[in-house]
Amino acid sequence: MTKLSVNINKIATLRNARGGNMPDLLKAAKDIESFGGQGITIHPRPDERHIKYQDARDLKKIVTTELNIEGNPVSQFIDLVLEVKPAQVTLVPDAVDAITSNAGWDTVEHKNFLKDIISTFKNEGIRTSIFVDPTVKMVEGAAETGTDRIELYTESYAVAYGQNKHQEAVAPFTEAAIAAHALGLGINAGHDLSLDNTKYFKENVPNLLEVSIGHALICESLYLGLDNVVNMYLNRLK
């Protein structure tokens, strides 16, 4: 079964909108795990507009599944990851002012940069993943960095799937996943996956180990309830 890691950035955004501690981010993480979620993902950004760096420290103490910290490996982020030592770190090439992630790494151009950072994290026993676009060239470049996994950037899939181009949408991801598996890389995926499109993606992308889903899952939970939605995703990932 593909694991579901729930990105709780949007819960932090709601909390920060009013100050205080409502909703309680730590309670939400524990509840998600009790509902069946198999991991918690956070993506702190330098301006701390949703997840705060202290949240990462606090979550480390209470998450009993797997904590995945995503982000651009600037010095502040690297220091945080080395301090917290999550189960997994996912490297994402975000601009400082990015609203959300919008591209995978050019693993050829940035190979040496990524190789050095990945080595640092792996020496501390932290599993590494690189956010990549679904192209064989980028997958091959990722393999040369020494990373444990890749995370396939799925926005293009979600857009094309929404236009009823299902086979066209998933084809490059199938090809990329096959190449990654042949190179010994684990395969994660995330960005704009939803209750509508996750099942088809899972059925057509082989060896998929984990999906990270946040924005859609939290939006769907406003109507259907968090416990219910987590289990709806788990059913789609069987």
Active-site positions read 43, 70, 191
Going from the C-alpha of 159 to that of each of 12, 117, 154, 197, the distances in angstroms are 26, 32, 9, 10
What contacts 11, CB < 8 A, 6 or more positions away? 23, 25, 28, 218
With CA atoms as reference, report the closest residue to 180 among 147, 145, 139. 139
Q: For 188, left (φ over 0), alpha (ψ -120 to 50), or beta?
A: beta
Cα–Cα distance measured from residue 115 to residue 98, given in angstroms and rounded to the nearest whole number: 24
CB 230 within 8 A of CB 6: yes
Going from the C-alpha of 100 to that of each of 49, 215, 232, the distances in angstroms are 12, 10, 25
Q: How many CA atoms lie within 13 A of 68 on its CB side?
A: 30
